[in-house]
Structure formats: structure tokens, C-alpha cells
Amino acid sequence: MDRFRESIMFVRVVWRRIREENVTFMAGSIAYQAFISLVPLLVLTLFVLSVVGKEQFAARLTTTLDAALAPNVAPIVSAAFQLNPTAGTSIVGMITLLWGSFRVFRGLDMAFSEIYGTQQETTLISQILDGAVALISLIGALFAMTLATTIFVALNVPYIGVVTPLLLFAGLLIAFFPMYWRFPNTDISIGETVPGVFVAAVGWAILQAVFETYVVFVGRLDTASLLGAILLLLLWLYLGSFLLLVGAVVNAVVASVRSPTSAISSNTSSDRVP
């Protein structure tokens, strides 16, 4: 009973921190910047393929992505690859991509620092390292989701529906760990990193399953258009960003409980779990 009561108190503390730190607002900002970076990346990729004379490869890539990507992303990828990008639009796309990517990584770093109550890294090297860690983590997560979906679609073997979520969960754990260990800008142990990674990985796996189920069974009538796909993608990006930050809140609360004298605890003294 005491363990159950402590768990309930922990959840209440996490929820209070989510509201106090404006996690929903920060998640919306990160999702917006991520969406801005997506289409320029696709246009730039298509331009590079067309320059090197691989139009057939680009067409084959489009077909493959339609089958492999999450249902809420595939229509946007197809629409972007149907464009006819020029050098000018590709240069603008590259600038927008770099700016949007920097804002995404910077937004994640600022959000973690705000949640932990720590100072942000100001040196150029530290910011580059943070950006590289975030890039690797997010690419790894997207790769794990795409791979899991591809395996599920391509292989028709018994129990594949059970194995695929487990593979996705394991891939997300590996992808998210570096970001949760690096971004707090303070010394934290592996034990203080794992809970948030676990929460984010479970959340993303469930989110992917829910969106796939929605598109298959509910979204046939109103999500086939590009506008419907954009709305779904925006919602997915927002919820994904929100889950990442919830994991950071969980780790911050865990750190304050395990180390009452730490700097993190001084910023969360009113939230300590009894």
C-alpha cells in the first residue's frame, strides 16, 4: 500500500511540474520548428538526387517510403517528392532546414535546462555537441519506427505483431538515452537517466501504434488529403515532443528525490515525494 501511495504521489508531482514548467507550450514550439524543417529536407534530398541523375532511384525511394513510413508522414513525403525543385528553391530549403534544425535542437536543450533548473551551455563546442546528440537521437528514433513498420508490413510470419513493438521499444531506448544523459547540463547517473528514457520510449511506441490504428480504421475518409496528413503530422510531432519533455520531467523529479542536496533538488523542493 505504501508503494502504491508513493507511486500516486510521484505521478502527482510529475503532473504538477508539467504544468508549472509550461511543458505543453515548449512542446508546441519544438513541434512547429520540426515541421518547418521537414519539407525543406525532402525537397533538398530530391534536388540532390536529380542533380546526380538518379531520377529512377528517386521514384523508387518515393514508393518505398510510402510503404515504410508512418501513415501520417507518407502523404507529405509523396507530395514533397512530386515537386520540381530548382537550385534556388533548394538553396532556400537548405537555409530553412539548417535554421529549423538549429531551433529544434536549441528548443530541446532549453526545455531540458528549464525543467532541470540548470544553466544552458553557451560555448560553441557545447552547442555543437548538443545538436549532434539531438540529431543522432531523433534520427535513431525515426529509423527505429520506420524499420519496425517496414518489418511489420514486409514479413508475414506468426507473432510478428508481438515482436515488432518490442523491437521498436528497444530501438527507442537506445536512441533516446544519449539525449537524456547529455541535455540536463548537470551530472546525473544512469539510474537517474533511465526512467525518463523508459517513459519516452513507451510513449512513442504507443503513439506510433495509435496513429497507425487510427489511419487504418478511422482515417480513411478524412486523412487521405494532404491537408489531413499535415494535421496528423503536426499532432504527431506535438505529442512526440510532449512525451520527450515528460520524460525529462520524470528524470528531474527522480533526481530531486535521490539527491535532496543537489542543485536540481533546490529547484524542486516543493515537489519532493514523501
Q: Which among 214, 216, 248 has a CA at the least distance from the CA of 17?
A: 248
Place of cell 514533397: 80
**Per-residue model confidence as pLDDT tens digits over 123-170:** 778 777 887 888 788 888 878 877 777 776 677 767 666 777 888 899
**Which range of residues forms the domain containing residue 149?**
2-271
State the chain's mean pLDDT as an integer. 74
> How many domains does the structure of the chain reveal?
1
User: Looking at residue 218, what is its pLDDT?
Assistant: 63
221 — pLDDT class (breaks 50, 70, 90): very low
Q: Is the dihedral of CA 12, 13, 15, 19 positive or negative?
A: positive
Beta-carbon contacts of residue 75 (< 8 Å; ≥ 6 apart)? 224, 225, 226, 228, 229
Whether pLDDT at 31 is above 70:
yes
Cα gap 20→46, rounded to integer Å: 43
Task: Calculate the alpha carbon distances from 177 to 71, 145, 248 in Å.
Answer: 26, 16, 11
Decide if 130 contacts 105 (C-beta within 8 A).
yes
175 — pLDDT class (breaks 50, 70, 90): very high
Task: Calculate the alpha carbon distances from 187 to 11, 49, 103, 200, 262 in Å.
Answer: 24, 44, 25, 20, 10
Cα gap 255→189, rounded to integer Å: 9
Whether pLDDT at 75 is above 60:
no
Length of the chain, please? 274
